[in-house]
C-alpha cells in the first residue's frame, strides 16, 4: 500500500467526509479505491489540512448529520472544490421523500450509493449505526424513504436509563456465547432483547420488501453491521 500511495501521490484524488453521530470518517479515493481512511470520534480542521498536504485533492464532498464547526466547512469551501451534501445537491436518483429538507445526509448518501451499486434493481439499504436506517430505492431510481429505529448501543442505553436496576451494556460485550434467544442471566437477557431483537427486526423488514418487490438487492453497512 505504501508503494501505491507514493506512486499515486502526484495524481488528483477525491476526499469524502462522513460526519456521523458516533464516528466521523474521511476517505481519500483514487478512482474507486480507498487509499487512505481515517475513523475517529472527531475529524478536525487539523486532520483535513494534513490530508490536503499529503495528497493532491481535486475535489471533496462533506456529508454531515451533526452541527460541525463552521471553520471546518469554510476551509473546505475556500480552499477546494467542495460539495456540501444537502437536499438541493443534484443526485442520480429521484427523491420522493415528502420532507427532503429533513432527510439525513447519511441516509441520502447511502441511498445513492446503494442504487449506484445495484442500478436498475430494487435495493434496500440498511445502515446499522447509532440508529438503524432502512432506505429503499426502486428499480427505476426513485427513492421512497424508509424507516429509522434505535441502534444497538441506543437500545442498551435506553434499558439502563429508563429502569432503576438494569446494568448498562454495550456492543463490546457481544459474543457468540452471549447471543442466545433465551437469556440465562440479566446480562444475557438484555443482550438477547437488544441485539437479537434488532436482528429479528432487520429480518422482518427484509422479508416485507422481498414479498413486495421483485429482484430485491439488500445492502448492509454501518459500524454495527458485523454484529
Q: What is the pLDDT along the chain (227 residues), one digit of tens a residue?
A: 334 443 444 457 899 999 988 889 999 998 889 999 999 988 888 888 888 888 888 889 999 998 877 888 888 888 778 899 999 999 999 999 999 999 999 999 999 999 999 999 999 999 999 999 999 999 999 999 999 999 999 999 999 999 999 999 988 888 765 678 898 999 999 999 999 999 999 999 999 999 999 899 999 998 877 76
- CA 218, CA 35: separation in Å to the nearest integer? 26
Question: Of 106, 127, 135, 224, which is the active-site residue?
Answer: 106
Per-residue confidence (pLDDT) for residue 217, from 0 to 100: 97
All structural domains of the chain with their residue ranges? 1-84, 87-227
* DSSP assignment letter at 91: -
First to last CA, the chain: 28
Cell numbers representing residue 216 in the block: 430485491
CA nearest to 73, candidates 86, 62, 65: 62
- CATH architecture of the domain 87-227 equals 2-Layer Sandwich (3.30)
Three-state DSSP class for residue 199: helix
Exposed / middle / buried, residue 77 (Cβ in 10 Å: 0-12, 13-18, 19+): middle
Residues whose CB falls within 8 Å of the CB of residue 175, separated by 6 or more in sequence, listed in order: none
Domains 1-84 and 87-227 in one fold: yes
Is 214 labeled as catalytic in the residue annotation?
Answer: no
Query: Cα separation of 36 and 46, whole Å?
Result: 16
For domain 1-84, the CATH superfamily is ATPase, nucleotide binding domain (3.30.420.40)
Amino acid at each position: 500500500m505504501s508503494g501505491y500511495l507514493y506512486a499515486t501521490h502526484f495524481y488528483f484524488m477525491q476526499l469524502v467526509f462522513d460526519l456521523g453521530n458516533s464516528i466521523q470518517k474521511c476517505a481519500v479515493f483514487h478512482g474507486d479505491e480507498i487509499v487512505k481512511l481515517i475513523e475517529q470520534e472527531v475529524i478536525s480542521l487539523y486532520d483535513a489540512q494534513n490530508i490536503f498536504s499529503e495528497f493532491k485533492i481535486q475535489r471533496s464532498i462533506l456529508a454531515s448529520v451533526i452541527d460541525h464547526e463552521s471553520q471546518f466547512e469554510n476551509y473546505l469551501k475556500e480552499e477546494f472544490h467542495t460539495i456540501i451534501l444537502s437536499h438541493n445537491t443534484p443526485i442520480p436518483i429521484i427523491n420522493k421523500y415528502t420532507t427532503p429538507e429533513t432527510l439525513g445526509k447519511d441516509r441520502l448518501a447511502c441511498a445513492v450509493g446503494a442504487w449506484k451499486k445495484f442500478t436498475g434493481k430494487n435495493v434496500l439499504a440498511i445502515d446499522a449505526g447509532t440508529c438503524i436506517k432502512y432506505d429503499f430505492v426502486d428499480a427505476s431510481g426513485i427513492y421512497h424513504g424508509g424507516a429509522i429505529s434505535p441502534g444497538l448501543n441506543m437500545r442498551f442505553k435506553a434499558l439502563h436509563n429508563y429502569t432503576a436496576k438494569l446494568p448498562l451494556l454495550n456492543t463490546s460485550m457481544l459474543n457468540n456465547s452471549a447471543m442466545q434467544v433465551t437469556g440465562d442471566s440479566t446480562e444475557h437477557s438484555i443482550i438477547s432483547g437488544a441485539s437479537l431483537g434488532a436482528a429479528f427486526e432487520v429480518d422482518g423488514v427484509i422479508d416485507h420488501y422481498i414479498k413486495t418487490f421483485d429482484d430485491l438487492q439488500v445492502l448492509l453497512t454501518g459500524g454495527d453491521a458485523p454484529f
